[in-house]
Amino acid sequence: MSFTHAFNATSLREYDIRGVVGKTLTEADGFAIGRTFGSMIVRKGGSTVAVGYDGRTHSPLLEKALVDGLKASGINVLRVGRGPTPLLYFAAFTRGTDGAVMVTGSHNPPEYNGFKMMIGKKPFFGKDILELGRLAAAGDVVEETQGHDETVDLSDDYVARLVKDWDGGEQKLKVVWDNGNGAAGEVLQKLVKHLPGEHTILFGDIDGHFPNHHPDPTVPKNLEALIAAVKGTKADLGIAFDGDADRIGAVDGNGNVFFGDQMLVVFARDVLKALPGATIISDVKASQVLFDEIAEAGGNPLMWKTGHSLIKAKMAETGSPLAAEMSGHVFFADKWYGFDDALYAAIRLLGITARSPLSLAEIHDALPKVINTPELRFECDDVRKFAVITEVAARLKEAGADVSETDGVRVKTADGWWLLRASNTQSVLVARAEAKTEEGLERLKADLVTQLESSGIEAPDFEHAASGH
């Protein structure tokens, strides 16, 4: 039987394949991903792929279609079932599979779903995904044959490995966990039974309709229930996950949000005690406070491009033991496997809190204070967005500004810094600014507006766009 398949152009993203189920993503796409990705694995000499799926209502059907496609390419499939994305990564690393695919819509609304892939132990992204689309459209796949599948429950093994790195002793913390009805629910129930202290789980049931709040812990509104529960129970801290638990959110005992870069300060100080001088990586959206604090703690701060696949690749290249993004992806490679895992990051945060003479709230209060805008996103044509960045960079360099072009343009001034970059996944430009004072922030925003207008772009609405952290 001949095979060709054309994906909806909007579904082939930089880091994964994602779309609205029944509209831009279908079971036929699931089969085609299996058929084509399986062929790519076979042509590299591989034969096994691990597959998992999240708690969305359509994930089981997409998972079955994916497995059928993989098997039709002669792949032997290790099905780990429903659970968080890190459980699939754990299966891939510990079972030594040649590839892995997670069916997940991550933090997107309920009508979305998608596929995250690994080839060997590396992320499959960017050009790999475009190549998969090209091969499917051309019908360039291996001859049809029949692999087999095996279902395994690795959740107990995964929880045991998580608990192995608990280093908080017998200190009994009071912790509130917000599962957000996401895919970590069952694993989380098992995990807390192995930890000392008092643990409360909010929205622990896995429910792909997300009836309580959107499963994205980077949006403060989605943390309101967690903050209320932490304050109400006088807990030491609160932990939140996104829909597939590869991103973490955290709040201290006073209900203050720990942003991704602030969490990395806490993690970096701890890791650098054991590994002085190590390279610690974060993305261009992170606060200057983070990079300064890493250096202060004896580390080598490295600013890199935004995107979990890009960060993972840079970690492997530099031998970095730790990295994190503003979006809540945290990557430990000192004792862990280097993949983004919110459950593991939580274990490490709890351990640090348990061992510290200071509360997490006191650690938060001691961080240098800055004022920054939230991430500002505004429409810009997919082709034009990269040209705007090039134009802005050229003007700034001609003016003698202090510019980093790691990912877009990040400009340092006496007041602080501002950033303008093109989104890898959408037709938008992304801006952010940070200063030590309100007046400084206004000057930075004015500089950014001037540059945008010079490129014929209407500036974003900066009104009320400031938040201290």
Q: How many CA atoms lie within 13 A of 140 on its CB side?
A: 9
Q: Which of 11, 106, 155, 327 is catalytic?
A: 106
State which amino acid sits at residue 101.
V
d(CA 327, CA 344): 16
The gap between the terminal CA atoms of the chain, to the nearest Å, is 58
Q: Which residues contact 367 (CB under 8 A, 6 or more apart)?
A: 262, 265, 289, 293
**Residue whose entry in the numeric block shows the structure tokens 């006191």:** 362
Residue 138, both tokens: 């051309």
Q: Which of 281, 283, 216 is nearest to 246 (CA)?
A: 216
Active site residue 455: no
Q: Return the SS3 of 429.
A: strand
Classify each residue of 368-381 as buried b or exposed e, where b means 16 or more C-beta atoms within 10 Å of its C-beta. eebbbbeebeeebe
* Phi and psi at residue 340, to the nearest 5°: -80, 125
The residues annotated as belonging to the active site are: 106
